[in-house]
Structure 1
Amino acid sequence: MALGLFRVCLVVVTAIINHPLLFPRENATVPENEEEIIRKMQVHQEMLQLEQLRLEEEVARLVAEKEALEQVAEEGQQQNEARTSWDLWSTLCMILFLVIEVWRQDHQDGPSPECLGGDEDELPGLEGSPLRGLTLPNKATLGHFYERCIRGATADAARTREFVEGFVDDLLEALRSLGNRDKDLEVEDFIGVGSMYENWQADKPLLCELLVPLTPPEPYHFHPELWCSHHSVPLDRHGYGQIKVAQADEDTPSCICDKTKLGEDMLCLLHGRNHLEQPGGGGDEVAGPLCAQDSPYLDTMQVMKWFQTALTRAWHCIAHKYEFDLAFGQLDTPGSLRIKFRSGKFMPFNLTPVIQFKGSDLYFVSHLPRQPSWGTPASSTDWLLSFAVYERQFLRMTSKALPEGACHLSCLQIASFLLSKQSRLTGPSALGCYHLKTALLHLLLTRRAVDWKAGQLDTRLHELLCFLEKSLLEKKLHHFFIGNHKVPEAMGIPEAVRRAEPLNLFRPFVLQRSLYRKTMDSFYEMLKNAPALISEYSLHLPTDHANLPPKAGVL
């Protein structure tokens, strides 16, 4: 009992002592300090939590960036592996395609099976072609047609050539006698080219095409520059070149006057100048005769103007010897001349000034008369390349290996005749006789000699038209000499021309759709009209067409 009472008293005393109202001064600051400490601890805790959150976000960001980098690296590795595999397959496919193309050019450059008239599969895209259903007249009708419309019309070609050549000889001789040897270009003997000299002239009027080589007066020299194989030259300028005019001493070794200290009053007898003077008159470059302004290159327009003026003076000198008139023919064709007789008949011919390329049979011309060119000159210093002499030589060389009476020229004559008649009906197109001749040259190079017998005229004519249609559909007809390594080396083609990239004569069709459409329409119209035209001209012909008399001459 006493012990319980003692415990109660002890509790009461302790409560009284610890009561804040009995001892206020001793414990007055404790609550305030606790609140400040608690507040600061809360603030610190909040800062720690914020810092923890920031650190967690930073760690998460770093982890995400690391994962992204690893993913990008993995994808890049996969892409590199795929690209390596793709490059390997692309290289293998390219090698395979090149092998196939080389094999095709070496073994299948001949006429395609579709052109042979057999039962082989048709060319893609030719199902609706008029050529697929074209049925040419039989051999007898073709023979009558050829004798009546072509051979009979061109029987006096030899007499025409003889007359024109005699007159041109006299005209050029008069031109030489009136020329100034110190200023004017020198005129050499003419060269006959074209259909009249290749024996495939198919239509009237008979036209002689003559090239007149020009050489510079002393002390100048011509330095032709070919653009056949220059990769820096645009494609539309391939087949062109420039002709630099330089003085003779520009290419010869330097004279001793350039290396030796001579007296001030001493003159060089070779150069005719003081040793202190620079070649060309004090360092000023002197342009050669008929060059473009501020240029050492020969100007086509100035050469043609000089040539026309010289021809006019030469004709006035010899006009009293002839009983006909001479005038320029077509204004858009420089060098086109026309002889007009008193009877009213006329005889056209072309005189084209040319520049020879380094002793070869390749010539630079200012224009190609009656032949479609493969581009437009960018300036008046651009000269076209003419392979007319090589074409004539190739046909002569090939004719010697063909059977007697071969039909290759007959095919070209008939096709040229049909194209000429169609041009008169629907107007001229971009397809010309030069394209026909180029197609024939390709066929001559790939066909066997025995395939050109006289009895194969209808087959070869159909093949020629088929080859031309295929080239038009593909918009690709390569020039026969430029880049053609199959041309015999005996032809003497310059090496720069043989090594050049092939020149596509149908390249303008790729760029000009309206021109291509017009040409295709005209070509197909010609194919549709061909059977009726041949039959019409072959009506009422005698059976023995071999005894047909030739027509009278023009003169």
Structure 2
Amino acid sequence: MALGLFRVCLVVVTAIVNHPLLFPRENATVPENEEEIIRKMQEHQEKLQLEQLRLEEEMSRLVAEKEALQPLEDEGQPQPEAHTAWDLWSTLCMILFLIIEVWRQDHQDGPFPACLGGDEDELSGLVGTPLRGLPLPNKATLDHFYERCIRSATGDATRTREFVEGFVDDLLGALRSICNRDTDMEMEDFIGVGDMYENCLVERPLLYQLFVPFIPTESYSFRPELWCSSLSVPLDRQGYGQIKVSPADGDPLGCICGKTKLGEDMLCLLHGKKRGVRPGRGGGSAMEDLLCSRESSYLDTVQVMKWFLVSLTRAWHHIAHKYEFDLAFDQLDTPGSLKIKFRSGKSMPFTLTPVVQYNDSDLYFVSQVPKVSCEGTPARNSDWFLSFAVCERQFLRMTTKALPEGACHLSCLQIASFLLSKQSRLTGPSGLNNYHLKTALMHLLLSRQATDWTASQLDVRLRELFCFLERSLLEKKLHHFFVGNRKVPVAMGLPETLRRAEPLNLFRPFVLQRTLYHSTVESFYEMLKNAPTLVREYSLHVPSDHASPPPKAVAL
């Protein structure tokens, strides 16, 4: 028995030790031709056949021994415990050998893809070579496309930006002039964010995004609270925070609305037009028409949006006679989304977003319409989204100064954003957006040396960007660039609380929404498939001496 067990174990151990994937030979070389590969495969097959014959002989001997023990069982004598143990070990050894053999066959069919991940049941049909082997345009084609399509479309952006900024200055000045300094919130100077201020413009219409920080009167103070400072915050609330409104003198009932005369349209920071207490509640602990959430001392995003929109409307009416155009609200679900309408029929959209600065950093809490989370739970009005837009602008500026002149990092982002925009118009929006593209680019900027971003490597870096996105999509994991990333330069002045926080996964909705995930992956590969055709069509003309091979026909 023991000798038979030893032989079977020896066969299994020999197969494992000789396995080329588990224990590769140090001096192994790649065969020079197909005949050498076939010969070695045949030799390996013969070894497996010999091992199979040995196992069959061993099994035959085991069957004979079992038949010899059968009379003992018929006479009612107990079977030796060694025989039961032997059957168990034999079975386990055979199962182990079969698992190794199946694993070897699966992995010898082809090389490991470079960008894989995710669950097996969800990635069937999606896994293959990086970018599914889809070709991207070469550098000459990309350069021509960038000059003719992207750069020319945003050539007058600077002049237009100066016009918008001048108008916003006048609008905010009028807003400050009509506000009561004793009871109303104070608006600070605007801060430019987004593609316009990051030199990442792609196409028209040009959109100008401006943050307008506001602060309370001297009688109150804002105390922002981050989600990462609490251990009981739900996963769907990560990336948000709350803003507690406290009296500056520490008196919870201290309010100056009863100590000064307010205008007809003026609002106290805590009270509305009805500045009384609720019936049955003493001491004024709960008041109607708060800018804070009801029954709490946290600033309410919806109430702030209403206050801001009303203030903008009054400010515009105050200066409208000076201009020969109209100002209208553009998107009702976005606070401060405005549009300048000229008499010629042209329009110029821009956004003024009320924000609250987090301490003395470049982080800002942004007011927005509460949305239902991916778990299906409604968001609270007291939750404010934490924006890193100013930090992103600073990081890209800092990186650009360290890169070679004419670096291709922003061109990569612009081309990728252009392709994503066109694909969204063809097949509808997906779970992938421009912020994901920017996040992937910033991760690559930290992982690569400055010399890797020269203008001559535009096509290589663009492919690397898409490959990074592919791996992130298949793994359903794209970490936020600033949250929990200790590689971010200290010069950015990021709060230590965020540097040490747990990484924030921007692709977490894909884990919970499989339909959205599959449609996003399909749209991503469709975008790559359409890329050569889109670049060629929008380039208008590609020089014949630099033209790439014609791509396969694509249904657009």
TM-score normalized by the length of structure 1: 0.68
Pair 1:544–1:251, CA change in 2 (3 A): farther
Equivalent residue number for residue 513 of structure 2:
512
1:174 shift after superposition? 0.3
Distance (whole Å) between structure 2 residues aligned to residue 438 and residue 318 of structure 1: 40
Residues 363-374 of structure 1: matches in 2 within 5 Å?
Answer: 363-367=364-368
Q: Deviations over 1:38-66 (max 9, x none)?
A: xxxxxxxxxxxxxxxxxxxxxxxxxxxxx
Q: Deviations over 1:492-514 (max 9, x none)?
A: 00111111111000001101111
- Determine whether 1:136 maps to 2:136: yes
Pair 1:215–1:151, CA change in 2 (3 A): same
Q: Is the 8 A contact 1:236 1:375 kept in 2?
A: no
Pair 1:121–1:468, CA change in 2 (3 A): closer
* Unaligned runs of at least 5 residues, structure 2: 1-110, 118-125, 253-280, 547-556
Pair 1:320–1:135, CA change in 2 (3 A): same
Residues 524-535 of structure 1: matches in 2 within 5 Å?
Answer: 524-535=525-536
Residues 113-124 of structure 1: matches in 2 within 5 Å?
Answer: 122-124=114-116
Give the aligned residue type for 1:400: K
Pair 1:543–1:405, CA change in 2 (3 A): farther
1:138 shift after superposition? 1.9
Task: Provide the alpha-carbon RMSD of the alignment.
Answer: 2.7
Equivalent residue number for residue 391 of structure 1:
392
Classify the secondary structure of the residue corresponding to 1:143: helix
Distance (whole Å) between structure 2 residues aligned to residue 376 and residue 156 of structure 1: 44
Equivalent residue number for residue 311 of structure 1:
312
Q: Is the 8 A contact 1:476 1:507 kept in 2?
A: yes
- Determine whether 1:184 maps to 2:176: no
Equivalent residue number for residue 233 of structure 2:
233
- Determine whether 1:433 maps to 2:441: no
Distance (whole Å) between structure 1 residues aligned to residue 285 and residue 306 of structure 2: 24
Q: Deviations over 1:520-554 (max 9, x none)?
A: 12111111101111112224257999xxxxxxxxx
Q: Is the 8 A contact 1:363 1:386 kept in 2?
A: yes
Distance (whole Å) between structure 2 residues aligned to residue 504 and residue 424 of structure 1: 27
Distance (whole Å) between structure 2 residues aligned to residue 210 and residue 151 of structure 1: 23
Classify the secondary structure of the residue corresponding to 1:210: strand
Pair 1:374–1:419, CA change in 2 (3 A): farther
Distance (whole Å) between structure 1 residues aligned to residue 181 and residue 137 of structure 2: 59
Pair 1:544–1:461, CA change in 2 (3 A): same
- Determine whether 1:334 maps to 2:335: yes
Q: Is the 8 A contact 1:145 1:537 kept in 2?
A: yes
Equivalent residue number for residue 249 of structure 2:
249
Residues 342-381 of structure 1: matches in 2 within 5 Å?
Answer: 342-367=343-368, 378-381=379-382
Equivalent residue number for residue 72 of structure 1:
none
* Unaligned runs of at least 5 residues, structure 1: 1-118, 253-280, 546-555
- Determine whether 1:171 maps to 2:171: yes
Residues 148-163 of structure 1: matches in 2 within 5 Å?
Answer: 148-163=148-163
Q: Is the 8 A contact 2:483 2:504 kept in 1?
A: yes
1:380 shift after superposition? 0.3
Give the aligned residue type for 2:421: S
Residues 269-284 of structure 1: matches in 2 within 5 Å?
Answer: 283-284=283-284
- Determine whether 1:224 maps to 2:224: yes
Identity of paired residues, percent?
A: 74
Equivalent residue number for residue 210 of structure 1:
210
Pair 1:157–1:368, CA change in 2 (3 A): farther
1:284 shift after superposition? 3.9
Distance (whole Å) between structure 2 residues aligned to residue 374 and residue 206 of structure 1: 34
Give the aligned residue type for 1:321: K
Classify the secondary structure of the residue corresponding to 2:145: helix
Q: Is the 8 A contact 2:302 2:369 kept in 1?
A: no
Give the aligned residue type for 2:211: L
Distance (whole Å) between structure 1 residues aligned to residue 423 and residue 377 of structure 2: 25
1:353 shift after superposition? 0.2
Distance (whole Å) between structure 2 residues aligned to residue 323 and residue 460 of structure 1: 46
Q: Deviations over 1:448-503 (max 9, x none)?
A: 10000000000000000010111010000000001111101111001111111110
Q: Deviations over 1:293-345 (max 9, x none)?
A: 12111000000011001001111111111111110111222211001111111
Q: Deviations over 1:34-93 (max 9, x none)?
A: xxxxxxxxxxxxxxxxxxxxxxxxxxxxxxxxxxxxxxxxxxxxxxxxxxxxxxxxxxxx
Equivalent residue number for residue 296 of structure 1:
297
1:220 shift after superposition? 0.7
Q: Deviations over 1:179-218 (max 9, x none)?
A: 1223221100000000100001112101010000010123
TM-score normalized by the length of structure 2: 0.68
Equivalences, count: 398
1:120 shift after superposition? 8.2
Q: Is the 8 A contact 1:237 1:375 kept in 2?
A: no
Distance (whole Å) between structure 1 residues aligned to residue 447 and residue 378 of structure 2: 33
Pair 1:377–1:214, CA change in 2 (3 A): farther
Equivalent residue number for residue 445 of structure 2:
444
Classify the secondary structure of the residue corresponding to 1:337: strand
Q: Deviations over 1:369-405 (max 9, x none)?
A: 9xx9999862000000000010000001111110000
Classify the secondary structure of the residue corresponding to 2:245: strand
Equivalent residue number for residue 471 of structure 2:
470
Distance (whole Å) between structure 2 residues aligned to residue 240 and residue 168 of structure 1: 28
